[in-house]
Amino acid sequence: MELAFKSIHELQELIKNGDISQKELWQYFIERNHTYNKEIWAFTSIGLRDFVESDGELMGIPLGIKDLFCEKNIPTTGCSKMLENFIPPYSATVIERLEKTGMNSLGKLNMDEFAMGSSGENSAFWATKNPYGTDRIPGGSSSGSAAAVAAGLCPAALGTDTGGSLRQPASMCGVVGFRPGYGRNSRFWVMPMASSFDCPGTITYTVQDAALLYNIMNGEDPLENTTLPGKDIIDPKIWKTPDLKWKKVGIPKEYFEEGLEEWVKTTINTAIEKLKELWAEVVEVSLPMTKYAIASYYIIVPAEVSTNLARLDGIRYGHNSSSERNGLEELYLNNRGEWLWDEPTRRSILGSYVLSAGFYDAYYKKASQVRTLIIQDFEKAFEQVDILACPVSPSVAWKIGDKVDDPLKLYLEDAYTIPASLAGLPGMSIPCGFAQSEDSEKETLPVWLQLIGPRMWEQKVFEIAGVYERATNWRKQMIPEKFKV
């Protein structure tokens, strides 16, 4: 039986009905990875954990794990040579919660080093490729997570979203990427990049699968003091909502101005028309501080990066250089300089600069004030509408190597995902069609619609995304030709 490209819910039904066993499901994905992973290099390791039979909610279903989530006694590297031999003594809280309900960890997924990148090209091991074209980037930083699900190598995957690292690669690869609001999912023993932004989330085939995993993962964690109190449970009644009557959808005009590729814009506008057909009231809203979002983000995030990466000194764990060193300064230079790649180095230097005496007020403090204004923009918008609909990325997946030497071009690719991250809002990318690539008239690549919800209202995102998904057939069309079964 072919099991690739089936949702978690579909696999659960097969197991319940006795059509397959949990062990057969596990073995299927192990073998499929041995056949196809070398085409896209989504996984860095496969099957390091033994299969475990379970009567929990997830019924032994295997998930791919971004190489940022610590798993006890399993090498977890952040796809950096700095931690090539690091074996955590604990598992992340979200991993423990998923395992208690029956998840099997299939293996570690490739990513940009320490989650720093928008293309999947910054891994210290190898670049992940897009299943829709192996000469194209899969997006980042959760590159392996999106590519693996898109290619049918696992039914779902864990990832993280700091400035768009779930939504953007999901868009590039044609799968569903969900980032909950900040504080919903515990960050405990998830390697930190920027602590006031990082959100563990998921890559799935369907909106309902994303909700299933969210119900398990979210909730207060006494070990992590930024988690929100209580637990959020999505009401199953929303999956029977037939249309979008009485729902007001806001279209932020700033997201449709200069920089958005014409073919992408056309596809997004078609999706918005579909929302109208589903009886949603669609209105234009303004988020005037959007133009300052990237500048604010790339001051605050590097500042937090420089602090978080300071622990990687090679003394307590991680790479310890064998080069001669005279004094502490040379020890740090050798340990960090030999294996910390360009993007983490760039952000660490920039972050140290904006936090230094004489520059803190001019840069970091001002960027934090802009962040507050961006939050206020969203609050005003949500006084008028239930949800915002907009593009995920200004372009479809570009060719590997096209932007790797121009960090500013890469940073601009996050223009539509960063504002929601600054505000700590829940967001989801869902399929809405295909668009022609500007670098090739012969290729059409996935385009995703981004839905952004108010703080503490993940259910609105799931409900509206679910209605749109059921009313379209994009999920069945989003299967890369080379990986079809």
Catalytic (active-site) positions: 66, 141, 165
Cβ atoms 265, 390 nearer than 8 A: no
d(CA 11, CA 471): 22
**For residue 361, what is the DSSP state?**
I
Task: State the virtual CA torsion across 265, 437, 170, 237 in degrees, nearest 10.
Answer: 40
Cβ atoms 53, 86 nearer than 8 A: no
**For residue 219, what is the DSSP state?**
S
The CA–CA distances, whole Å, from 446 to 48, 143, 354, 478 equal: 32, 15, 37, 8
CA-wise closest residue to 460 among 296, 293, 238, 294: 238
Measured in degrees and rounded to the nearest 5, phi and psi for residue 280 equal -75, 145
b/e per residue 287-296 (b: at least 16 CB within 10 A): bebbebbbeb
Q: Chain-centre distance of CA 271, in angstroms?
A: 22
Indicate the SS3 state at residue 63.
strand
Cβ atoms 279, 245 nearer than 8 A: yes
> How many Cβ atoms sit within 10 Å of the Cβ of residue 251?
18
**For residue 256, what is the DSSP state?**
G
d(CA 105, CA 103): 6
The CA–CA distances, whole Å, from 43 to 84, 108, 147 equal: 15, 6, 9
Amino acid at 462: F
- Name the residue with tokens 């990237």: 294
Cβ atoms 481, 453 nearer than 8 A: no
Beta bridge partners of 200: 160
d(CA 390, CA 399): 24
Question: Please, what's the largest Cα pairwise distance for the chain?
Answer: 70
Give the pairing type, strands 427-437 and 440-452. Answer: antiparallel
